Amino acid sequence: MTDTERLATAPENRLASIDVLRGFALLGILVMNVQAFSMPLAAYSNPHAWGDLTGANYAVWLVSRLFFDSKFISIFSMLFGAGIAMMAAREVPGQQAIYFRRYAILLVIGLLHAYLLWYGDVLAFYAVCAFILYPFRHKAVSTLLIASGILYALPAAMLAVGALSAPFFPQVELERLRVQFAPESEELLPQIATMQGGFWEIFLDRLPFLFQWHFLGFPVMFLPMLLALMLLGMVLHRLGAVQAHWPGKRYALLAVLALIIGVPMVYAGVLYLDAVEWSAVSVAFDGSLFNYFASPLVALGWIGVVMLWCQSGRLPRLRHALSCVGRMALTNYLMQTVIGVLVFYGFGLGWHGEVERTGQLVFVLCVWALQLAWSPLWLHYFRFGPMEWLWRSLTYGQLQPMRREA
């Protein structure tokens, strides 16, 4: 590795606001991921599929839906695109091979994560997106925005077509949708029993889902959305938005627009789904469009809030802790999975299907406290998180210096 490359990626040269935002997004993602760890898959998109949905449990679900569902994965995806733009801005000759090796390694890490630990992995998807985005790294902002808009509209168009076509679906397809998106609680008991079983039992049960998701669901629905958000992230980096360079009034405007347009749009979707009694077709297609279109706007609102906080200088210790979580995003993301599966899967405590949403919130708060405490402590002694060190060492083909100099 050249001196230029080392300088470009040294911890002391990182932008603090981006690290804070990345740490904030990583912790926020757990609010939704815990539902996938702890409950049957159908409950992630349809809260009536499993568990109590009254009182405090409903309040936890509603807040999650309004402010977290798809919003924090949107922030994280934008930051991934911003990272590609950042690398492009400091690109040196001969770095193309390093770029592709970096994301080939991330692809392997993601696939191992998905197949051996948790089906909800996004790392492999991000790696695939990085290969596709490479030619876009120097495109004009206008080109990036147009491409982002077109790509983001594609899944929405497919959802709309699905909703319009649903009355003509054969009965067997409607029944498949019902079992997937609006099952009876009794129908989920075998799935819960499997997740409370051993590692091999869970692994074999998840293989068909992962094959279908990786080779059908991801290319058709998830890939265009992720690419669109990453392209938007590249734009935000080019414009200085995620570096806290904008005037405070502009960030405040993002937050206001999220509150007066984005959040009400998500809530309108909840009211619509309530009105149609969370029918499988609506959950799968038209009912999800509200949140789909609102989520990037709410995500931008969150970005505005965090950037305003970074500019204010308030709560510096918390801000530093979040930046450390962000600098160790890969390690902390995988750590969340390890903790989650050990608590909720059968080769751990086996609490899958037994923890209501209020209990899930307690779990999230405990993991947040752990990662906010351990990340600054680790980085006090070491330059990188454990997985970041491994990733960099494999990327550059040599062991990277790990301990901080005294």
**Longest Cα–Cα distance in the chain:** 70
Q: What is the pLDDT of residue 406?
A: 57
Going by pLDDT thresholds of 50, 70 and 90, the confidence category of residue 4 is very low
CA geometry: angle at 216 spanning 34 and 25, to 5°?
30
Mean pLDDT of 12-25: 82
Helix axes of 329-344 and 16-38: crossing angle, nearest 10 degrees: 20
Mean pLDDT of 309-313: 94
Alpha-carbon distance values, 339 to 39, 163, 315, 344 (Å): 15, 38, 28, 9
Q: What is the pLDDT of residue 15?
A: 66
Going by pLDDT thresholds of 50, 70 and 90, the confidence category of residue 13 is very low
pLDDT tens, position by position, 171-185: 999 999 999 999 999
Q: Could you count the other beta carbons within 10 Å of the beta carbon of residue 312?
A: 11
Mean pLDDT of 60-86: 97
Mean pLDDT of 142-166: 97
How much of the chain, in percent, has pLDDT values that exceed 70? 96
3-class SS at 214? helix
Q: What does the alpha-carbon distance between residue 211 and residue 213 come to, in Å, rounded to a whole number?
A: 6
Contact yes or no for 348/118 (Cβ under 8 A) = no
Contact yes or no for 293/156 (Cβ under 8 A) = yes
Helices (H), 90-169: 96-116, 123-133, 141-165
Q: What is the pLDDT of residue 89?
A: 80
Residue 61's Cα: distance from chain center in Å?
18
Q: What does the alpha-carbon distance between residue 209 and residue 255 come to, in Å, rounded to a whole number?
A: 37
**For the chain, what is the total number of helices (H) and then of strands (E)?**
20, 0
Average pLDDT, the chain: 94
pLDDT tens, position by position, 334-363: 999 999 999 999 999 999 999 999 999 999
pLDDT exceeds cutoff 50 at 291? yes
Beta-carbon contacts of residue 123 (< 8 Å; ≥ 6 apart):
106, 107, 109, 110, 113, 330, 333
End-to-end CA separation in angstroms for the chain? 23
pLDDT tens, position by position, 122-142: 999 999 999 999 999 999 999
Q: What does the alpha-carbon distance between residue 191 and residue 352 come to, in Å, rounded to a whole number?
A: 10
